[in-house]
Structure 1
């Protein structure tokens, strides 16, 4: 809403109750324990001072709630002398001159009379049976006494049920005169929606904004804060390939042979001292 309605004076006690609930929220209590955080009283004073600003976050729900409340109050009351639509049990049993009717009187007196009669009959019956166990009158008096006792218990049960029904019906009709049940139910639902919106969108964000940020919880499965790990530096060791060079004339540089190699010289492969025979022509042969 562009212009949310201001918080009315009659709704400020409800606002204070919601503020007390929000201050007991688990996240707020955790933030209050942080170093340098405001105290609970300081935060409450600020929230009460900025009540209109905080309530504006739930302005739509609040406008709907106040409109239904005004409609309910504007409902014309029931004329005086008119019985309610669903009167209670005592109203149904009340006589025309304002006194109690016959049924409520009987409900109260019947158990008392029945128990008195049961006590007298049982007492006389047991005394007669003690005098003569075979006396028929004694058995009849005992039977009548037990029946009277049961009737008194039943009358008391009926009276208790009547009182419970009366309390339930009178409690259901305790709303102000002229109240529309559907409108009253809608008003109750609108009030719950406004309370939820005011708490979730107004009070809690405001309280968290005035408190230090709560650090993130450690990951599950490990106590405390997890240590930071960096990837290992997998670099090659200081190693260079061996220098292989062809052996020099003196045989040095061969890593497989300890010490200097003996010097080798190329053998001199020359022809032996031989000359071809001297052949002459046949004319020279003697």
Structure 2
């Protein structure tokens, strides 16, 4: 039975090993040393072999992995030690978002309401002026309509300015978010990349290269020999040594002697004594 996980590889990092292995197999045609992929061994067979030897492959990058895990644990501890500051930042962001939302609603509704009022007052005012005799408040309706028209223009101007300010503010927020530790390659991300590079270059690729170069490994050789590098696991099997029940290797058959049957010792009536 092959090992499916390395003793020193955490479960949360196992998917990263699988991704690196799949990527190496997918881009094998771009590497001259892996050009023979598919002649004796296909990608699925190589993947099975690599998973069986995962402990050996990950051991090739053990130093980088230990450094990466250490930094990751330290960063998590630092994040847990100061949860209040992160919550305050999230709360401040939430308050800012609420304020921006109210401003956006006002900026949209003000021109609409002012424009609607303008239309109503102007239509009513001009309708009244067409009536004979002209009502006294017709001019008042027209004046109110033009006032709402001016208010519509002003509110539209403020809405445009508000949209521009919001766009600039969001752009600045995106730049700040990009500068946060989790968004750019920090010390932990660099250690992770160093581990990935070491695992690929010193573990996965050499294993695949040795497997493809070893003529004893393949579907035509059910019992491959153990390579000198010690990287490729033995994928063969040996048949059980079945022997027939009567083979000579078991020695001579056990013999037996039949029971010695004899007739009872008696004589006829003439031999009996009187």
- TM-score after normalising by structure 1: 0.53
Q: 2:197 — aligned with what?
A: 196
Shift in Å at residue 168 of structure 1? Answer: 7.2
Cα deviation code 1:247-282 (max 9, x no counterpart): xxxxxxxxxxxxxxxxxxxxxxxxxxxxxxxxxxxx
Match of 2:38 among 25, 30, 33: 33
Measure the CA separation in 2 of the matches of 1:11 and 1:145: 60
Match of 1:111 among 107, 132, 138: 107
Larger Rg: 1
Shift in Å at residue 149 of structure 1? Answer: 2.2
Q: 2:25 — aligned with what?
A: 23
Q: 1:13 — aligned with what?
A: 15
Residue correspondences, number: 193
Match of 1:70 among 68, 73, 97: 73
**Does the Cα contact within 8 Å between 1:115 and 1:148 map onto a contact in 2?**
yes
Shift in Å at residue 157 of structure 1? Answer: 4.7
Pick closer, same or farther for the CA change 1:127–1:70 going to 2, 3 Å. Answer: same
1:262-277 matched pairs, under 5 angstroms: none
Shift in Å at residue 188 of structure 1? Answer: 0.8
Measure the CA separation in 2 of the matches of 1:141 and 1:212: 85
**Does the Cα contact within 8 Å between 2:115 and 2:149 map onto a contact in 1?**
no
**Does the Cα contact within 8 Å between 1:65 and 1:194 map onto a contact in 2?**
yes
Measure the CA separation in 2 of the matches of 1:144 and 1:8: 65
Shift in Å at residue 163 of structure 1? Answer: 6.1
SS of residue matched to 2:186: helix
- TM-score after normalising by structure 2: 0.55
Measure the CA separation in 2 of the matches of 1:163 and 1:87: 16
Shift in Å at residue 156 of structure 1? Answer: 4.5
Pick closer, same or farther for the CA change 1:211–1:151 going to 2, 3 Å. Answer: same
Match of 1:144 among 136, 151, 163: 151
Shift in Å at residue 77 of structure 1? Answer: 2.4
Measure the CA separation in 2 of the matches of 1:191 and 1:93: 33
Q: Which has the higher helix share?
A: 2
Shift in Å at residue 41 of structure 1? Answer: 1.3
SS of residue matched to 2:89: coil
Does residue 87 (structure 1) correspond to residue 83 (structure 2)? The answer is: no
Does residue 207 (structure 1) correspond to residue 208 (structure 2)? The answer is: yes
Measure the CA separation in 2 of the matches of 1:59 and 1:73: 21
Unaligned residue ranges in structure 1 (runs of 5+)? 176-180, 214-286
Measure the CA separation in 1 of the matches of 2:149 and 2:115: 10
**Does the Cα contact within 8 Å between 1:55 and 1:202 map onto a contact in 2?**
yes
**Does the Cα contact within 8 Å between 1:124 and 1:141 map onto a contact in 2?**
no
Shift in Å at residue 47 of structure 1? Answer: 0.2
Q: 2:254 — aligned with what?
A: none
Q: CA RMSD in A?
A: 4.1
Pick closer, same or farther for the CA change 1:166–1:78 going to 2, 3 Å. Answer: farther
Shift in Å at residue 65 of structure 1? Answer: 0.8
Measure the CA separation in 1 of the matches of 2:23 and 2:73: 27
Measure the CA separation in 2 of the matches of 1:29 and 1:127: 82
